[in-house]
Amino acid sequence: MMETMDTEQELDLLDRQLVQALRLDGRASFSRLATVLGVTDQTVIRRYRRLRGGGLLRVIGLPEAHRVGLHETRLRIQCALGAAVPIADALARRADSAWVKIYSSGTEVGCLIRSHSRDERDALLLQKLPRTQHVTAITSHDLLHGYSRNPGRRWGAEVLDEGQVRALERPQATDGDRVRLDDADRAMLALLARDGRAGYPDLARAAGRSESTVRRRLDHLRESGVLYFDVEIMPVHFGCETEASLSATVAPSDLAEVGHALAGHPEVAWAAATTGTSNLAATVLCRDNKALYAYVTERLGALKAVRQLEVVPVLRAVKRAGLLTDGTRLFDPPAGG
């Protein structure tokens, strides 16, 4: 049985080192991780199992949406008083929702939908949500471009020295053409979305292919930038108790520069260009409201191309990284009803 962990327990230095190491290479072997961290294999395995079993850490393998034909749409849904929680829960149960959050007003739900086709997206926007009781308004924006960032440089996680980082980091793959996935690919990706460290025997069984074939395919998808690995961890255990959603308006000529600058900030967990008047969206994680104020006024304030900014605190994150504890899978068809 896996060890469990008190959700109020703070991560120690080795825990933090392991988190950063896994962000740099989510599928690095335990022996390689142990060598880089200067501990034994069994120590790394124990730490990983304790964090994973306690629900504090999860390595996930996710595709670059535009490379596999997924349409990403950011929704802001206004709800009647008292309706946000059930509406957020219903959205979180959908296989096509990547994340779902309730904002601080308690009457607004934000979510990111990844649809297999525009018809699937339109069915949600034009049929399902408008007919949902207590939904009073919907704002929808398509994601145009996601801004990449160094996975090992993130809020509170920079605890490895440069030599350790170099030993683990992988070259950044350049963007490429759309890749057509077959059923075996989808089965493999569905498993990796739940457990990015799933073994090759499990991946082979899911895909109905040999282990060698699955290994080659996974390596190809990863090296070509179609598949990436990240670590989902509760921000509070890195001392980040304040989460906020940002919507900014930037001149089109400055959008790429500002987006890449934002993605380079340790406080930013996610950043993307979107359609709409507010054409840049981001998620920010800070220690507290004072730190959020400092981030907005100092680091964001230094980006003179930002013309307008909306900062909306997150009251509750209902779903993160496309996953729920019931095993919802990104590549399952959207839930009906």
What pLDDT does residue 39 have? 97
Q: Does residue 267 sit within a domain?
A: yes
Given a contact cutoff of 8 angstroms between Cβ atoms, the answer to whether 247 and 278 are in contact is yes
Model confidence at 3, pLDDT cuts 50, 70, 90, reads very low
- What's the pLDDT tens digit per position in 247-278? 999 999 999 999 999 998 989 989 999 999 99
Which two three-digit tokens encode residue 159?
A: 């605890």
- The structure tokens 């179609």 sit at 226
- The structure tokens 């019931």 sit at 326
Domain membership of residue 261 as a residue range = 236-319
Given a contact cutoff of 8 angstroms between Cβ atoms, the answer to whether 112 and 72 are in contact is yes
CATH number of the domain that residue 269 is part of: 3.30.70.920
Phi and psi angles of residue 15, each rounded to the nearest 5 degrees, phi first: -60, -45
Other beta carbons within 10 Å of 24: 25
What pLDDT does residue 46 have? 97
What pLDDT does residue 127 have? 87
Given a contact cutoff of 8 angstroms between Cβ atoms, the answer to whether 233 and 19 are in contact is yes
What pLDDT does residue 122 have? 87
Q: Which residue in 284, 186, 196 sits closest to 232, CA to CA?
A: 196
What pLDDT does residue 233 have? 81
Phi and psi angles of residue 204, each rounded to the nearest 5 degrees, phi first: -65, -40
Q: Does residue 271 sit within a domain?
A: yes
State pTM to two decimals: 0.82
Q: Does residue 140 sit within a domain?
A: no
pLDDT higher than 70, residue 6: no
On average, the pLDDT of the chain sits at 88
Angstrom distance (rounded) from CA 235 to CA 268: 12
- What's the pLDDT tens digit per position in 186-237? 999 999 998 999 999 999 999 999 999 999 999 999 999 999 998 888 787 7
Q: Which residue in 26, 272, 265 sits closest to 158, CA to CA?
A: 265
- What's the pLDDT tens digit per position in 104-158? 989 999 999 999 888 888 888 888 898 899 999 999 999 999 997 655 555 556 7
pLDDT higher than 50, residue 87: yes
Q: Does residue 172 sit within a domain?
A: no
Q: Does residue 21 sit within a domain?
A: no
pLDDT higher than 80, residue 327: no
Domains in the chain, number: 1
Q: Does residue 301 sit within a domain?
A: yes
Q: Does residue 268 sit within a domain?
A: yes
Angstrom distance (rounded) from CA 285 to CA 314: 10
- What's the pLDDT tens digit per position in 34-83? 999 999 999 999 999 999 988 888 999 999 888 998 999 999 999 999 99
- What's the pLDDT tens digit per position in 168-195? 988 877 778 889 999 999 999 999 998 9
Model confidence at 326, pLDDT cuts 50, 70, 90, reads very low
Q: Does residue 122 sit within a domain?
A: no
- The structure tokens 């924006």 sit at 141
